[in-house]
Amino acid sequence: MKVIAQTAALQEALTLTGQLVAARTPKPVLQCVKLVAADGVLTVLATDLEAGVRYQLGAVQVEQDGEALIPAARLAGIVRESADEESLTIEADADACHVRGAGSHFKIFGYDPGEYPAVADFDGDGDCRIASDALAEMISKTLFATAKAHSHYAISGVLCEVSGKKLQLVATDGHRLAQAKGSLADAAGRDVTAIVPGKLMSLIQRVAADDGETLEMKVEENQVLVRTARAVLVSTLVQGNFPKYSEVIPKEATHKAKINTAQFEHRVRQAALLTNEESRGVRLAFGSDEVVLTSRTPEAGEAEVSCPATLDGEPLEIGFNPAFLTDALRVIDADEIAFEMSASNKPAVIKAGTGFLYVLMPVDLG
């Protein structure tokens, strides 16, 4: 194999694929990326056995087809330190891989490319197509709410529901739930329901955020595949039953407040300064024209900040984990949110813009 690749493009490819390369693993091949040169294209492959990526570099000149399996960190380091070079030549034979720049030559010992696990490719048509920036936004509005602990595996992913021309993402960690709705580019070939691992979602986000292209998505028996112009992302699906989320979304509310998003977020952050590890809670007292946020740490002190808000309904006091509020508030683009509650021990709902809904449970401040 011999290719001449643009350094910048190579670096981009290695940065993305590097996300799936394990730092520590008993299998050394999993610390590698696989390079495949064929048909005038260089493909960089990486997998952690759950998720995989195939990234195609167009800006290359393939001199000789072939494959190489190279330690990822080593190669990424060389490319990073060769940023001043326009291009690098990568040549691999049975013994080693040679990376050459204008005044540099690196010889890296790799592994047999045949030992690398297969990374599925996106064949045929997808189930649905969606604008990449729209999907990236929906992911950012839900991904934060997934469960981080291993205890409840089914909610460690994002529920992805395709129906007609609509796509819906739902994530929850058992304390709060985020839901984002969006439109597909055209009607989907079939309805799909799948739990996509958070890791793949954040990969999609990285690939999708930069340009206005259209992504294709396909769900097979136990895996999901996403195709962009340059990359194919694949992952096994999260198995298990996602909770019946529609049951926990309150249907009505007796107290509805409207608050400026940025101001509210700012005030919540301020109030959070005087919470502590053991009593993470901010008390929100909704009055007719403002909401007063108070917090207290017994040995440290207290905070009281207020924020204009219009309330429809009786005054209400309710406590929240401030992180649960700021997590949602910082991904909302709309200027104003609707904050809907019915009691201090019942779930509250934040609605903003089109298609974003966030349910959060209050805390009981002892």
Partner 1 sequence: MPFPSDGASIRPLNRFRAAEDGCYPETMSIHVLPTPLVNKIAAGEVVERPASIVKELVENALDAEAGRIEIAVEDGGRKAITVTDDGIGMSPDDLKLAFVAHATGKISDDEDLFAIETMGFRGEALASIAAVSHAHIRSRRRGAESGYEVSASGGEIAPPRPCAASAGTAVSIRDLFYNTPARRKFMRTTATEFAHISEQLARLALPHPRVAFRLTHNGRESANLPPADSTAERVADLFGRELADALLPIRPRGDGVSVAGLLAPPAAARSSSKWQYCFVNGRYIRDRLLSHALREAYRGRIDVQRWPVAFIFVEIDPADVDVNVHPTKIEVRFRNGNQVHGALLAALRETLNRANLSPTARLGDSPASSEGNDRGEPASETPPPSSHDAPSVEAVAHDDNHRNTLDDARRHSLRQALADFLKAAPPRQQRLDFSPHANQAGAPPAGTDATSPSTAAPGPSGRLPLGDLGAPAAGHGAGDAAAAIMQVHNSYIVAATDDGIIVVDQHALHERLLYNDLQRRLAESDGTKLTSQRLLIPETVTVAPAEADALNRRSELLDRLGIEVQAFGPRCLAVQRFCALLAERGVGAADFVREIAGTLAEDDTTNPEQMLQRVLAMMACKAAVKAGEPLSEDEMRDLLARRREADKAAACPHGRPTTLTLTLAELARQFGRS
| 146 is a site residue for partner 1 (CB under 8 A) | yes
Least distance between partner 1 and beta carbon 274 (Å):
6
| 278 is a site residue for partner 1 (CB under 8 A) | yes
| 277 is a site residue for partner 1 (CB under 8 A) | yes
Contacts of 143 (CB under 8 A, 6+ apart): 158, 171, 198, 201, 202, 205
Q: Give the one residue of 41, 273, 334, 343 binding partner 1; rule: CB under 8 A.
A: 273
Binding marks (x or -) toward partner 1, 337..366, rule CB under 8 A? Answer: --------x-x-----------xxxxxxxx
| 116 is a site residue for partner 1 (CB under 8 A) | no
Least distance between partner 1 and beta carbon 105 (Å):
23
| 182 is a site residue for partner 1 (CB under 8 A) | no
Closer CB to partner 1, 113 or 362, in the complex? 362
**CA geometry: angle 340, 247, 351, nearest 5 deg:** 30
| 163 is a site residue for partner 1 (CB under 8 A) | no
Extended beta strands in 116-221, E state: 128-131, 157-163, 166-172, 176-183, 192-197, 214-219
Q: How many CB atoms lie within 10 A of CB 46?
A: 25
Closer CB to partner 1, 205 or 263, in the complex? 205
Closer CB to partner 1, 149 or 262, in the complex? 149
| 205 is a site residue for partner 1 (CB under 8 A) | yes
Binding marks (x or -) toward partner 1, 53..72, rule CB under 8 A? Answer: --------------------
| 149 is a site residue for partner 1 (CB under 8 A) | yes
- Contact region with partner 1 (CB under 8 A), list: 38-46, 211-219, 233-241, 274-282: 274-282
Look at residue 127 and give its three-state secondary structure. Answer: coil
Contact criterion met (CB below 8 Å) for 24 and 109: no
Longest Cα–Cα distance of the chain, Å, equals 77
| 202 is a site residue for partner 1 (CB under 8 A) | yes
- What burial letters (b/e) apply to 118-147, b meaning 16+ CB within 10 Å? ebeebeeebbbbbbbebbbbbbbbbbbbbb
Closer CB to partner 1, 314 or 364, in the complex? 364
Distances (CA, A) of 202 to 138, 140, 332: 11, 8, 18
Instruction: Name beta bridge partners: 302.
Output: 296
- Contact region with partner 1 (CB under 8 A), list: 24-32, 66-74, 146-154, 159-167: 146-154
Residue carrying the six token digits 């053991």: 278
Q: Give the one residue of 185, 326, 338, 353 binding partner 1; rule: CB under 8 A.
A: 326
Distances (CA, A) of 303 to 310, 317, 327, 330, 352: 22, 16, 20, 21, 27
- Contact region with partner 1 (CB under 8 A), list: 43-51, 60-68, 162-170, 194-202: 194-202
**Structure-token pair, residue 214:** 């259209």
Distances (CA, A) of 225 to 128, 240, 253: 11, 19, 39
Write out the residues near partner 1 by the rule CB under 8 A: 11, 15, 18, 80, 83, 140, 143-144, 146, 148-149, 151-152, 155, 172-177, 198, 201-202, 205-206, 209, 243, 248, 269, 272-281, 298-300, 319, 321-324, 326-327, 330-331, 345, 347, 359-366
